[in-house]
Structure 1
Amino acid sequence: MAERSWRPVCAALLLVVVGLGQLHAESRHLAPGFSSLPKGAAIVVMPPDIELFSLSAGGVTEPRADWTTAAMTHVEAALQARAAELGVQVRTVSESQADDLAEVNALHAAVARSIAIHHLWGGNNALPTKEGKLDWSLGDAVLPIREATGGDYALFIWIRDSYASAERKAAIVVFALLGVGMSGGFQVGYASLVDLRSGQVLWFNQLIRGTGDLREAEPAKEAVSALLKDFPTSQ
């Protein structure tokens, strides 16, 4: 009788523990104190920082400008379609503004890599001073974006993708027969929502996988959707 009476309590405790674990996992993508965008917020979608490569038989990456151009077209179209679903004001930057703000995009790439290594991966790479919190900033470097666009927040996208060449694919087959595995390329992406008043990174997500293809419209749309999973919505 006593044993049965404990079962609901144990079940309830288990639900609490699971719930707290899920909350902690979700909070790793959000800055302390941030949960959603305010109504009427204006988000500046920064030009995506994308580059695609061909992976040679020996594993050397070679930039492919034609692939990168196609990927930019598909990703920008996917971002525009997704932006329409966010329920916020969306603003873009002109080509001339993009050139002026190129250094900010480069800074985001560096900060994003730090967040991925020291925060999301954590472990021995975790920074004790961060206390497991998403506590990163681009600082005053983002102020020109606000001045140029009047936006409240900026969405940064960084993606690198590689694809096996014909020679690499042949090598993969040969080595597989010998019991040795070889990769066929990786897709790595970072997405950050940044407050243009303070430079604080409010939300961050990463994408690391051995699948996907940005050279085609539909796979690129899927990649953007995966990268923007659980993007904070307007309340």
Structure 2
Amino acid sequence: MTTRDRLDRGRSPLRLVLVLVASTLVLLGIAAAVAVALLPPVLAETPRERMTASTGQTLRSATGSATVTVPAGWLVLGVGPFLTDDTITLVSPDDAYRAEFTLLPAGSSLTGLLAAHDITSAAATAAWNTEELSSGYSVRWTELAADDDADASASATGVEKGPAAEASEEDRGSTIVLVALTAPDPTMPVELVLVATVSAPDAAAYRTVTADLLAEATLSGVPPTAPAPTSPATGGGLP
């Protein structure tokens, strides 16, 4: 056996170890990438807590905040470090009604929210209604058929009124209620958007639930930063 053969034989175990280490690192990197991609949506649907009493939940952004009252028995979804402060998702005690609140800049486009719920074309063709709530806030809203964009239409019943009629037994799929809540103060920098999902046969009965959630919601702008106090002038004294 030559000296070269002996050296090559000595390197073989080291090469094997290096290959194994490199392969392991690659697999760990792939697993981490998959986890980062999959964890946020999974954690966003994970139950956080069920309210034992009516509790206010605050949404925050750089320019303002909103407070939503979560009734007793309702479930708040979402855990983990991927959650943002400007959204909250609630589920009714019977699991039939889902409410997703998002704090947005006032007058902003709803394009992102509509795309996330696959209702972009439905919202574009649906009739929108404007209504003033007893709290003084205004809402712009519509009802959409979640499973057939072409048939989306606005309900004739306001968000503060009771159900107009029982839904037909032939109704299928889900109804999405899309509401943008704005404050009476025109300078308010934020607005609150509600995307509520409920089965189509139950949509009429749950309009009062939507109204109650909106009736207790409030908006607030971030107070302007107070100017730094100036130091009194030195010397001279009082006259």
- Give the TM bin, normalised by the shorter chain: 0.3 to 0.5
TM-score, structure 2 as length reference? 0.32
Q: Would you tell me which structure has more strand in proportion to its own residues?
A: 2
Q: Would you tell me which structure has more helix in proportion to its own residues?
A: 1
TM-score, structure 1 as length reference? 0.33
Give the greater-gyration-radius structure (CA).
Answer: 2
